[in-house]
Structure 1
Amino acid sequence: MVDLEVEEQEGSRGSPGTEEEREQEPTNEDSDTSKKRKTTSDVWAHFTRKKVEGKVKAQCHHCGKLYLGDSTQGTTHLRNHLARCPRMKFKDIRQQVLIKQQNKVDGTMSLSNYQFDQARVRNKLARMVILHEYPLSMVDHIGFKEFVTDLQSMFKLVTRNTLKSDIFKIYDNEREKALKITDKNGSRMAITTDMWTSINKKRGFMVITAHFIDHAWTLQSRVLRFVYVPSPHTKDVLADVLVDCFLEWNIDRKLSTITVDNCSTNDAMIRLLLNKFDTSSLMLGGSMLHIRCAAHILNLIVQDGLSLIGDGIERIRDSVIYWTRSPKRRQKFEENARQLRIQCTKELVLDCKTRWNSTYLMLSTALIYKDVFSRLAKRETSYTCLPYDHD
């Protein structure tokens, strides 16, 4: 503790003393003290104390220059040299030390050397974009550039095209790993697949996922393909996409089941697949290949029941659309909810018609604001889709 206080006092003195004081030869007592005292400043990781012509000097490890090194001289001048040392790999002394939390019971801290790696940080940036689905254009944003520069000035921020290239490299690397895993896997694989339509371009995509038990009896899942499927989505087109995927991953002889939505197109697609595969490699000659998605069947059952109150649901859906269409309407709705002292912070949410659970969430939230809809109907003449009481 004493050493730390002494070192802080030395650093706060700023630049070395007068010329006369600097040239003064240190006494034996000073010399002994400098030898015994433990140097706590991180500066001394880059300097070595030595006596030159009877004076204590600090020699830079990088360029070999000598500076005043007596304990009474402080360390500010040494830090200033490190900031502009031509032979020093890292310009900022703060980048030399990284404090890491060690996995110790007492939670003590320890110091370890830190070396900046441009390639490693680029990889982390690409993985961050993948994980959180950030837009590639974020590397062009001024705020992000300023943040990165202040955080790590040595990192050279990449362009969006380079970032895109880094992401593809990660994809190729992970794909190679997945190929090796599926190659070594000795068990059969259960396939789940579904179609997905993008909102903005209205294009259809197919997702194909494999599930299997590895050698350690652990359930593993791997997305094999996320691929654009051209229209029309006929049985032949869907079957061709699946066959190409199975052959690419060399799992056509390892299939156990294929789970798909319960629709006539998928039924016809499975029949086509059975004609394309060697049925002797399938379980029970392929009689167990087709599995109908239980979640989809449940959704069909619930949707059939909801059709009995379909008109009421439509009025509630139209009301939610009306009051969430613009920020001004949403604000007006929230103000009326506060005036009626409704203690709820949930926002109105629009459902997806084909997913019963999202319809349930929409209805349960709208029910809380039942009185708000009635109040606003008396004040807003353009609001004409007020649900009835029995709705």
Structure 2
Amino acid sequence: MGNGRQYAIGVISHMPENQPLELARKKLALMICVHEYPLSIVDHAGFRKFCGTLQPMFKVSRNTIRLDIINMFGVQKNIMVKYFAKCENRVAITTDLWTAGHQKRGYMAVTGHYVDASWNLKSFLMRFVYVPCPHNAEVICEALHACLVEWHLEKKISTVTLDNCTSNDKAMEILPDKLDTSSLMLQGSLLHMRCAAHILNLIVKDGLDVMEKGIERVRDSVAFWSTTPKRHEKFEKMARLLNNEYTCRLALDCKTRWNSTYIMLKGALQYKDVFERLSIREKKFTCPTGEDWVFAKEVCARLKVFFDVTELLSGTSYVTASLFFPQICGIRLAIRK
């Protein structure tokens, strides 16, 4: 280790005067990308003092690091374009479009997936771009097609997977007209794939709308004991008194995210005895009834099936297409019990 460090220091000391600073900028840009830090980190007083301690000559602005990141992307993009020019494998595309809540602006992310020569599944972000309104089929199709052309993949794609909304369906009806269908698998008949995880999400949301009233008192109980730090501390103390290990923190769900409802119910059921004991001491708190707990347990068991399958189908390090049919059959059998 000592020799390695001396060697590294020796290499840096013999570099041209500006080269270590340029290398540091590249490493900083990479760090920001890998850890998803904001570009404004380079303007923070603490960061500037830290860098000044290590190297007083190292100074970088937000615009400079932004350009470094863009240049880094350009270099890596050219490498990937050249790789796919020689590669005979096809690339599966996934894309999503959403509106950022604080900006009220629409963004599209396009990701490519392929199997390399060593049979390893690889994924890479092709584009993260602002998409102006209106987000209709024509705009979505044009943005997606522009990305494929930019990466020279319009003749090498296998499938395009999107969420299940009307504008996406119409966009995928238009896209084949912009492509050479003879270069696609089965003349493009398999081009459009629907996101399996999104289909499951829609199914569960519809089911929870019907069962909403049945779990309302459990949700109110979680909200009561997680609203303030004082109440939460009282709840945790009671759990310890009852020898119930407080390993899963109480968390109120977000009604638009069914997986958070599953996590909430799972945690509440774990501390059922805590809720019941606290209802004796706390007059303002109304504990769910026995029927409420039975219903919550049943709902939680059903949601667990969807939760596990959704996590499986959302994997990024393995192929998921072959998992869909048997998992959906498993869900159907579990629901019919």
Same fold at TM > 0.5: yes
Equivalent position SS for 1:309? helix
Distance 1:147 1:341, change over 3 A: farther
Matched-pair contact (CA < 8 Å) for 2:51–2:58:
no
Please state whether the residue corresponding to 1:115 is helix, strand or coil: helix
Matched, 1:200 2:117: no
CA 1:235–1:122: 2 relative to 1, 3 Å: same
Matched, 1:141 2:44: yes
The answer to whether structure 1 residue 191 and structure 2 residue 71 are counterparts is no
CA contact 1:312–1:387 (8 Å) conserved in 2: no
Partner residue of 1:286 out of 188, 203, 224: 188
Q: Distance in 2 between matches of 1:376 and 1:161?
A: 57
Larger Rg: 1
2:282 is the counterpart of 1:379? yes
Query: CA shift at 1:332, angstroms?
Result: 4.7
**Identity percentage of aligned residues:** 47
Aligned to 2:2: 99
Corresponding residue to 2:113 among 177, 201, 211: 211
Distance, in Å, in 1 between the alignment partners of 2:185 and 2:113 is: 16
Q: Give 1:100 shift.
A: 4.7
- With 315-324 and 137-146 compared, the bigger mean Cα shift is at 315-324
User: Map of 1:300-311 to 2, 5 A cutoff?
Assistant: 300-311=202-213
Residue 103 of structure 2: SS of its match in structure 1? coil
1:12 matched residue in structure 2: none
Instruction: Name the aligned partner's letter for residue 261 of structure 1.
Output: D
TM-score (structure 1 length as normaliser): 0.62
Cα deviations by residue, 1:314-360 (Å, 9 ceiling, x for unpaired)? 44445545554554554454445445543113222344545543332
CA deviations 1:121-156 (Å, max 9, x no partner) are: 121122111111223333333433343344x24552
Counterpart-to-counterpart distance in 2, 1:166 and 1:273: 34
User: Does structure 1 retain, via aligned residues, the 8 Å contact 2:96–2:108?
Assistant: yes
5+ residue gaps, structure 2, are: 14-19, 297-337
Q: Tell me if 1:118 matches 2:15.
A: no
Judged with a 3 Å threshold, the aligned counterparts in structure 2 of structure 1 residues 213 and 154 are, in CA distance, closer, same or farther, namely same
Q: What's the offset of the Cα at 1:228?
A: 2.2
TM-score when normalising by structure 2: 0.71
Q: Describe the superposition over 1:194-252 as per-residue Cα deviations: whole angstroms up to 9, x where unpaired.
A: 22343433433221111223445443322111122334432222212111111222211
Alpha-carbon separation, structure 2, partners of 1:272 and 1:293 = 19
Secondary structure in structure 2 of the residue aligned to 1:344: coil
Compared CA separation, residues 294 and 323, structure 1 to 2 (3 A): same
- Deviation of 1:168 (Å): 2.3
Higher relative contact order (CA 8 A, sep 6+): 2
Unpaired runs of 5+ residues, structure 1, are 1-97, 103-108
| Cα deviation, residue 99, structure 1 | 2.8
Counterpart CA distance in 2 for 1:233 and 1:319 is 40
Alignment of 1:179 onto 2:81? yes
Kept in 2: contact 1:100–1:112 (CA 8 A)? no
**Structure having the larger proportion of residues in strand:** 1
Provide closer, same or farther for how the CA distance between residues 164 and 295 of structure 1 changes in structure 2, counting only shifts above 3 A.
same
**2-structure distance, mates of 1:111, 1:135:** 30
Structure with the bigger percentage of helix? 2
Contact 1:99 1:111 in 2 (8 A): no
Aligned mates of 2:152, 2:224 — CA distance in 1: 51
Instruction: Say if 2:158 is the partner of 1:261.
Output: no
Cα distance in 1 for partners of 2:175, 2:211 equals 40
CA contact (8 A) 1:239 1:270 kept: yes
